[in-house]
Amino acid sequence: MVVNDDGITAPGLAALKEVLEGRGEVVVIAPQDQHSGMSHAITLYQPIRLRKQEQGYTVTGTPADCVKMAVHGLGYKPDLILSGINNGANLGMDVLYSGTVAAALEGVLNGIPSIAVSLCGALEFLPSATQILEELLFAEPGFVNKPELMPQGGVININIPALPRENIRGVLFTSLGVRRYEGILDRRSDPRGGCYYWLGGTPGILESDDLDIDLVAVDQGYVSITPLKLDLTYYEELERLRKQK
C-alpha cells in the first residue's frame, strides 16, 4: 500500500506506485490535499469522506486517517506500507512533525510493516530516488526479500539526498540528529493593514561531521536509514525516577 502526506496529486506518490509496479496488488490512498506537518493527527470532529479517483483513494483527512481508512474502512491488510516519497527531508526532529513518518507509524500500530521515504530536495531527483528505493526494497538483501530486516514495533525512515544516482555515495544506518531552524516565523502584512504569519524556516548549519547522524549522512551524499520505534518511553529516566522514589 502506498500513502503520503503531500496529497493524492504529489509526484512522489506516483513514483512510489511505479516502484511497486508488477510486484503485486498496489493500493494507493492519500489525503485529498497537502497535509505535511500534520504529524499523527486524526480527524475526530469532522466527517471523513473517502473517494475513488484516478490516482487512487482520497481521504478528506490526515495521513494517519488514510491508513485507518484503508485498514478499517476498506478492509485492506497490506504486506507493506510505503509512505512518501515525501517532497522534502524528514531528518532529525522533523520526524516529530512529519505526516509521512506518522502514516508509517500508523501502519505499524495496525501490525503492518511500514517504511517512510523522503527526498531531501528538488523533485527533479525523483527518478534517482526511485532507483535507490527499488534497490533497497528488492535487491539482495532488500527490505522486501528479507522481511527480518524490518524492525518490530517500529518503522524504517529512509532519506535520500537530492543527487543524481551516480553521485550518491552509499547507504548508512543512522540515528536522529538535531538541527535548529532559522527564521522560523515570517511576519507579513495583509492588504487591510493587518498582519499574518507563515511558519517555515531554513535549516541552520550542521555542527557535526559524524556520519552516524542522519542529517550529516544526507548532507554528505549518503542515503540515511533510521529505525524509529513507537515506544517513546525514556527508559534511562524511568530508571532514575524509580530510584529516587
Site residues (CB under 5 A) for Mn ion?
5-6, 36, 86
Least spacing, CB of residue 145 vs Mn ion, in Å: 28
Residue with cell 549518503: 222
* Spatial distance between the Cα atoms of 31 and 12, rounded to a whole number of angstroms: 13
13/20 with CB nearer Mn ion: 13
Please tell me the number of Cα atoms within 13 Å of 166 on its side-chain side.
Answer: 0
What residues does 51 pair with on adjacent strands? Answer: 58
Q: Read off the C-alpha cell for 109.
A: 500500530
7/177 with CB nearer Mn ion: 7
Query: Please, are residues 154 and 175 in contact by the beta-carbon 8 Å criterion?
Result: no
Among 116, 35, 120, 50, smallest CA distance to 81 is for: 116
Least spacing, CB of residue 116 vs Mn ion, in Å: 10
117/216 with CB nearer Mn ion: 117
5/219 with CB nearer Mn ion: 5
Least spacing, CB of residue 22 vs Mn ion, in Å: 27
86/128 with CB nearer Mn ion: 86
Query: Please, are residues 121 and 203 in contact by the beta-carbon 8 Å criterion?
Result: no
Residue with cell 534517482: 128
13/144 with CB nearer Mn ion: 13
Instruction: Identify the helix (H) or strand (E) that includes residue 241.
Output: helix 235-244
Strand pairing category for 2-3 and 81-87: parallel
Give the CA angle between residues 29, 17, 109 to the nearest 5°: 50
CA 119, distance to chain mean position in Å, is: 9
Least spacing, CB of residue 11 vs Mn ion, in Å: 12
Least spacing, CB of residue 12 vs Mn ion, in Å: 8
Least spacing, CB of residue 89 vs Mn ion, in Å: 10
* Closest-approach residue to Mn ion (CB): 36
